[in-house]
Chain A
């Protein structure tokens, strides 16, 4: 069974809860067109860990982070950071956290250094501390070559590094990152991963959202899977995967199959003994994702397919991944969930939501 998050969850033994989100609700718009972004979200993040929020686009990750960072008020629910009620004392919470937003807002006319200096003054650092931190971060994030150039000339990776630097400038206890590596080049991504690991090992709590499975799997000590505004599974990547059990099989009868054929094979396989679940994965050319009890089942499957005169283009077997955890909880793969919302999102409306 997947470990379920429930309200009132006590923090892990030996570590304190730095963030506690309880029963968060938040909708956008009114009446019939209202979109429910958060629907009773509960989250407990222990101090000192690297925590991942995994979920498809539109699951409510950004909304939850914006509420945590005091940029948005929930319709209902409570937010606590280090024991401080963020809704009652937002300024005390703002001092504790650094926020790296998804849409990097920088001033194109300022240089990176000037932007960091501005940021330092907004956090009331004194001059010498500010300059010392800028020098440290310049080194840490490899910004030396371009920090004195204007931000308008930066690549996506440079912007994200600068934004990470501005989130870290006041040495916050908690760093919150919304999709920190989306659309980044490999070098910038690995720099950011490395910095996040380093931070975490030096005691900073890091909370990041991502819709990249690999990212969360590789980085996070613990994670919560979010779907439709709720946490549907919570735990360390290893526990979550172990809890699932069974082997994962990806089967393709043809390189590119179609819906009808996939449905036929699905019916056939569901009848097999030892097959727990069969899901059609539309995003991968209508391949089939199966959960099977053990190796013997796979042999049996091959025989049955041969009897039904169905070809096998490819059959791959693996241990459970986080995608399987997601699949188990929601009945669809993360990729399919992404595809489903890809067409229904309105970037313009979302920008409006974020506009004050």
Chain B
């Protein structure tokens, strides 16, 4: 040091970390919701698209013979669970987009120059936002499906449905946020979202049961995270809420609701651990 510290910084007792982190996280979350409120097209499209799936796909197989599907019931009833999961999944897959735009437009720099108590607030705000958004969309679909006569899981069932969706949304949001910080721009991010979306839907049990698929596709579907979310929800719609209910005859094993939920929990935790170094690098 050539000079004595000329002006000593005032270091009064720091306010509590929790208070500061919640202040900054709430402010960032509020911003995302104000954007949504003034530009609601994402929300509307997010509800409309699965609705179209439900109506058109349901109609496509309306005359499928009764008893063709495992457990009986109509195709529309079968499809409902798949469409609900797909809604939450595509919503969460878009979680990275606002972050990517903030990176590209330099708004992120504005956040980084501020003395945020924790830069995880930026990620946390996105997770909060997308969770609420996905759940709202899913509930809209659940409600519409019920009105269309595709069934209603009952209140306890609804709890299971929402829990399953929540786990899936966490996992997919982590993935999307990781991509938003790893990819060079929004074009690339949109391309990845576009490519990931439909194949994951088709290679799952959303549209057809495992027993309809050739062996190789059955394997893919039995490993697809979407399947682990779809089957517990389908079971909830069927009134089976016991965690030990076997919901999937996977080529490698029989899977219960508890098994599926465990896989989803591990997936969400694993993905957050995987993307952490990437976030730390970009946000430090």
**Is A bound to B?**
yes
Interface residue ranges, A against B (CB under 8 Å): 8, 10-11, 16-18, 47, 69-71, 82-84, 91-92, 94-96, 99, 101, 103, 105-107, 109-110, 114, 117-119, 121-124, 150, 166, 351-352, 354-356
Nearest chain A residue, comparing its CB with the CB of B8: A83
Is the Cβ of B109 less than 8 Å from the Cβ of A18?
A: no
* B27, B30, B108, B109 pick with most chain A CB within 10 angstroms: B109
Chain A nearest Cβ from B27, distance in angstroms: 3
Residues of B bordering A, CB below 8 Å: 2-3, 5-9, 15, 20, 23-24, 26-28, 30-31, 34-35, 38-39, 103-117, 181, 184, 282-283
Distance of B49 from chain A, by nearest CB (Å): 23
Residues on B with C-beta less than 8 A from A109 are 34-35, 38-39
B212 to chain A, nearest CB (A): 45
Q: A7 CB to closest chain B CB, in angstroms?
A: 9
* Contact between A355 and B104, CB atoms less than 8 A apart: yes
Beyond the given pairs A351-B104, A354-B106, 13 more chain A to chain B contacts, judged by CB atoms under 8 angstroms and listed by A's residue number, are A16-B6, A83-B6, A83-B9, A91-B116, A105-B107, A105-B109, A107-B35, A107-B107, A109-B35, A114-B34, A124-B23, A166-B110, A356-B108
A93 to B88, CA, bound (A): 41
18 A–B pairs (Cβ distance < 8 Å), ordered by A:
A17-B3, A47-B6, A70-B113, A82-B7, A83-B6, A84-B9, A95-B115, A99-B113, A101-B110, A107-B107, A109-B34, A109-B38, A110-B31, A110-B35, A118-B31, A122-B111, A356-B108, A356-B283
Do the beta carbons of B24 and A16 come within 8 Å of each other? no
| Other-chain contact of A8, B2, B107, B282 (Cβ < 8 Å) | B2
Nearest to B6 among chain A residues (CB) is A16
Report which residue of A105, A110, A114 has the largest number of chain B beta carbons within 10 angstroms of its beta carbon: A105
* A94 vs B7: C-alpha distance when bound (angstroms): 16
User: Contacts of A150 on B, CB cut-off 8 Å?
Assistant: 38
Name the residue on B nearest A352 (C-beta).
B184
| Contact (Cβ within 8 A) B7 A83 | yes
Say yes or no: A11-B6 contact (C-beta < 8 A), given A94-B114, A121-B24: yes
Contact A122 B24 (CB under 8 A): yes
The 6 closest A-B pairs by CB, nearest first: A83-B5, A16-B6, A121-B27, A105-B106, A122-B114, A94-B115
Given contact pairs A16-B7, A83-B6, A114-B34, A121 touches B115 in the complex (Cβ within 8 A):
no
Q: In the docked arrangement, what's the CA distance between A73 and B273, Å?
A: 25
Contact (Cβ within 8 A) B27 A118: yes
CA distance A118 to B28 in the complex (A): 7
Query: Hey, which chain B residues are within 8 Å of A8, CB to CB?
Result: 2
Instruction: Give which listed residue, B3, B111, B113, contacts A69 with CB less than 8 A.
Output: B113
A52 to chain B, nearest CB (A): 21
Report if A356-B112 is in contact (Cβ < 8 Å); known contacts: A109-B38, A110-B31, A124-B15. Answer: yes
Partner of A71 from the list B23, B109, B184 (CB cut-off 8 Å) is B109
Q: How far is the CA of A103 from the CA of B106 in the complex (A)?
A: 8
Across the interface, B110 reaches (CB within 8 A) one of A83, A105, A117, namely A105
Contacts of B283 in A (CB 8 A): 356
A150 CA to B282 CA, complexed, in Å: 29
Chain B residue nearest in CB terms to A11:
B3
Q: Is the CB of B109 within 8 A of A119?
A: no
Question: Once bound together, how far apart are the Cα atoms of A92 and B8, in whole Å?
Answer: 12
CB distance from A9 to the nearest CB of B (A): 8
Shortest CB-to-CB span from B155 to chain A, Å, is 37
B106 CB contacts on chain A under 8 angstroms: 101, 103, 105, 354-355
Which chain A residues lie closer than 8 Å to B114 at the CB level?
Answer: 94, 119, 122-123
Q: Report the minimal beta-carbon distance from B111 to chain A, rounded to whole angstroms.
A: 7
Instruction: Tell me the complex Cα distance, A18–B6, Å.
Output: 8
Contacts of A69 in B (CB 8 A): 113
Min CB–CB distance B133 → chain A (angstroms): 16
| B185: nearest chain-A partner, CB-CB | A355
Q: Knowing A101-B109, A105-B107, A117-B27 touch, does A124 contact B115 (C-beta < 8 A)? A: yes
Chain B residues with CB under 8 Å of A114's CB are: 31, 34
User: Across the interface, do B9 and A82 meet the contact criterion of CB distance under 8 Å?
Assistant: yes
Bound Cα distance from A95 to B7, whole angstroms: 15
Distance to closest chain A CB from B84 (angstroms): 30
Contacts A82-B7, A105-B106, A124-B24 given; indicate if A10 touches B116 (C-beta within 8 A): no
Nearest B-chain residue to A111, judged by Cβ: B34
In the complex, are the beta carbons of B109 and A91 less than 8 A apart? no
User: How far is the CB of A46 from the nearest CB of chain B, in Å?
Assistant: 9
Tell me the nearest residue of chain B to A102, going by C-beta: B106
Would you give the shortest CB distance from A205 to chain B, in whole angstroms?
Answer: 10
A117–B114 CA distance with the chains assembled, in angstroms: 13
Interfacial chain A residues near B108, Cβ < 8 Å: 356
A31 CB to nearest chain B CB (Å): 19
Complex Cα distance A194/B23, Å?
Answer: 34
Separation in Å of the A88 CB from the closest CB of chain B? 13
- Are A356 and B282 closer than 8 Å at their CB atoms? yes
Task: Contact check, A10 vs B3: say whether CB atoms are below 8 A apart.
Answer: yes
What is the CA–CA distance of A354 and B282 in the complex, to the nearest angstrom?
Answer: 12
CB <8 Å contact, A82 and B113: no
Please give me the residue from chain B that is nearest to A97 by CB atom: B113
A92 touches B113 (CB 8 A): no
A19 CB, nearest partner CB in chain B, Å: 11
Name the residue among A17, A70, A122 with the largest chain B CB count within 10 angstroms.
Answer: A122
A8 to B27, CA, bound (A): 43
